[in-house]
Structure 1
Amino acid sequence: MPRTAGEPVDVVAAQRAALDRLYRTHLRAGSRYALIDFPDHANVGDSAIWLGELAMLRAVTGREPDHVATWHDFDAAALARMPADTVVLLHGGGNLGDIWPHHQHLRETILTQVRDRPVVQLPQSIHFRDLAAARRFAGIVAAHPAFTLHVRDRPSAAFAADHLGCHAGLAPDSAFALGPQRREPASATLLALMRTDAERRDHATALPDGAERVDWLEDGPGLPAGTSPSARERQARHRLERGLRLLSRGERVVTDRLHGHILALLLGIPHSVLDNDYGKVGAYVAAWTAASPLVRRAA
C-alpha cells in the first residue's frame, strides 16, 4: 500500500527491501557464492552485518555459502578450484580504506588474484587518510574485469567516483536484513555505547552525568570454537546476542557506533547518535535512517 502523507516511514522495512533488490542483482535461486572476510574479532557490528548477509543470501539462493574465509586464512587456490560461476562476495562494513589495513589488504589480494569470476563488494563505507593508498587501490580496481562496488552513504559514492574511478551503487547496511529484534528489560536510564578504537572522536563533554559508558570490543564467556562455516556463524550469533543484551540495558542509548544506531533501531530503542572521527555515522543517517522517530542527531 502507498504511504499516506504524515505516516511514519518504516526505515527498517525500506532498507530490507533495498537489500533484497541488491542481492537479487547478483544472485538467483541456486547460485553458487563465496563469502569472504568473516569478522574474526569481537566487534559486534561486523557480526551483525555477516549474519544479515547470510540471511539475505539464503533467502535469495536457497543455498549455504560454498566457501568462507577470514583475512588470515584466505586461500586463492581453493577459490580457483570452485566452479567458474561462483560469485565472490566481499563482506560489507566500514573497512574499505587504510584505517583497517588487514581487511583492505585482503580486498586488494582478491582483486589481484581472482580475475576469472565476478567479485562483488557488499555495502561499505570508504575512508582513506592517505590519497596515495587510494590511488593504488584505484589501479587495482581498474584492472579487474568484473568488480562491482556497493557503498552505504553518499560521501563514499562520491569518493569512489572522484578517486577510485568507478561507479558505486548506494545500498543499506546488510545488518538490516536481520529485521526487528527482541528487546530485554532496561536496567539503566542512559547507556552510552562509545568507540574506544581507531575511529574514536572525543565526545566526553557531550555525555550527561550518570550515563553508563561501555564499548563492545571484548568477547564474553562461552564463545563457540571452530573454523567451519557453521562454527563461524555460531560465533557471529554469540557476538550479536551480546550486543543486543548490552544495548537493551538502556532505556535510551547514545552512541557513536554505526551499529549501535542500527541495532538500537532493530530493538526499537530511542537513541541519539554522535559521529565517528570521519563522519561515517552521520552520513549513514542522512542516507537511510533520518526519518525514524527513534533517532536524533546529537551535537
Structure 2
Amino acid sequence: MDTPINGNLGDQALAMAGLHVLAQERPSSSLLEIQNYQVRSSLRFLHDNLKPGTPIFWNGGGNIGSLYPYEEHNRWESFKAFKESPIVVFPQSVHFSSDLKGQRMLKSSVRNYSLKKELTVFLREEKSFNFFRKNYPEVESYLAPDTVFLLDEYVSKLLKKSERIGVLFLARNDIERNPQFNAASIAEVIDKAGFQTEVADTYLGEEFVGSLNREALLWKLWNKMATKQVIVTDRLHGMIFAYLTRTPAVVLANNNWKIESTYQTWLKDCNFIHFLSKYNQKMILDSVQRLSNVQPEPVNIQINFDQFFKKLRQV
C-alpha cells in the first residue's frame, strides 16, 4: 500500500524494491499494489473482499510524522480498517516537529499505532529507531536499512559501464531543503576547478510515474549517475543511488536527521560516500577532488535485513 505516482524517483525506488522483495520472499502470494491516491477510496472495498488475516504491507520512506500528515493519517485509517490483518510497515524514518501541532500529532500517532494488533514497524536508521522505541513501546519494531539497498546486486550487475566524467548535483527544492546548500553557486566553483558540472534532481516534477514506467525512469537516472566521477547531493536517495551505482558522493545534511542518521547507521565505513553536516564551498570542493580518485569498495549492508526477511515470511 501507498506506492507513489509522483516524479520522486527515491519514492519510486522504494516501491520497486518493496515489490521485488515481496515477490522474492513470498513467491506463492498474489500481490495487489495500491497507490497512495487510492488508499482512502480502497479501504472499504479491501475490508469487504480480502480474507481475514490477509497481510498488508505498507511502503517504506520518511513519512511517519508531522512532515507528511496525509500519509500518516492514511496509515491510521488502514489500521482501523484491517483490524484482523497483520500489517508490516517497511523501513521508515520518523520526524515530528517540536511545536504544539507536531507534539499533538505525535500523541495521536502513538495512540493509533498502539491500538493496532499485529503491527510491525521497521525503522531505517538508528535515530528513528530509538525515537520509535521510546515513544511507541507497545509496538513491535526493528531496525533495518532503507529497502532501496535491496536493489544493490540487481543494479550493480545490470548497470552500463562507461567512462566517468564530471560532477552531478542532485539537489532538492522542497520543504526538506537546507537553505545553506545553493547547488548552482557551488557548481560554478567546482566547474572553475576543472570539473564538468551538471545540476539536476531525483524529482521529475509532476510527471505521472507508476508501475509501467517506474523502472525505465530509474534506470535512466542510474545509468546517468554511472557516467559521473562524483555526485553531490542533499537527497537521501541521491546518496543511496550513488552507493548502488558505485559513484563517489559528497552528501550534505538536509533540515532533518534522516540523511545523517542513515549515513551513520549504514554507510559511515564506506570509502566512497562522504557526509558533511556543516560545509562551505571549499569543503565541498576539497571532498569532490579527493573522492574523484577513490576506488569504490562497497560494504555489506545486506546482512542487516535478516529480521526483515523473517517477518515477511512469517505473516
TM-score range, shorter chain: 0.7 to 0.9
Structure 2 CA distance for partners of 1:94 and 1:175, relative to 1, 3 Å: same
Is 1:169 aligned to 2:142, yes or no?
yes
Number of positions where the alignment pairs a residue of Structure 1 with one of Structure 2? 256
Structure 2 CA distance for partners of 1:291 and 1:187, relative to 1, 3 Å: closer
Is 1:200 aligned to 2:177, yes or no?
yes
2:305 aligned partner: none
Does the Cα contact within 8 Å between 1:220 and 1:242 map onto a contact in 2?
Answer: no
Does the Cα contact within 8 Å between 2:65 and 2:106 map onto a contact in 1?
Answer: yes
Structure 2 CA distance for partners of 1:98 and 1:239, relative to 1, 3 Å: farther
Distance in 2 of aligned mates of 1:183 and 1:275: 29
1:69 is paired with a residue of what secondary structure? coil
Structure 2 CA distance for partners of 1:198 and 1:188, relative to 1, 3 Å: farther
Distance in 1 of aligned mates of 2:260 and 2:239: 10
Q: CA RMSD in A?
A: 2.2
1:83 to 48, 51, 72: 51
TM-score (norm 1): 0.79
Does the Cα contact within 8 Å between 1:189 and 1:251 map onto a contact in 2?
Answer: yes
Distance in 1 of aligned mates of 2:234 and 2:71: 22
Is 1:153 aligned to 2:125, yes or no?
yes
2:37 to 72, 95, 113: 72
1:275 aligned partner: 253
Distance in 2 of aligned mates of 1:164 and 1:43: 29
Distance in 1 of aligned mates of 2:160 and 2:247: 8
1:133 aligned partner: 105
Q: Which runs of 5+ in 1 are unaligned?
A: 1-35, 225-231
Is 1:45 aligned to 2:28, yes or no?
no
Is 1:110 aligned to 2:78, yes or no?
yes
Distance in 2 of aligned mates of 1:283 and 1:233: 30
Encode CA deviations 1:95-133: one digit per residue, 9 max, x unaligned: 111212221121111112211110111100111111111
Distance in 1 of aligned mates of 2:36 and 2:240: 25
Deviation at 1:55, TM superposition (A): 1.4
Higher radius of gyration, 1 or 2: 2
Which structure shows the bigger proportion of residues in helix conformation?
A: 2
2:203 aligned partner: 217
Structure 2 CA distance for partners of 1:48 and 1:286, relative to 1, 3 Å: same
Q: Which runs of 5+ in 2 are unaligned?
A: 192-196, 280-315
Distance in 2 of aligned mates of 1:173 and 1:150: 9
1:169 is paired with a residue of what secondary structure? strand
* Percent pairwise identity: 23
1:68 aligned partner, one-letter code: E
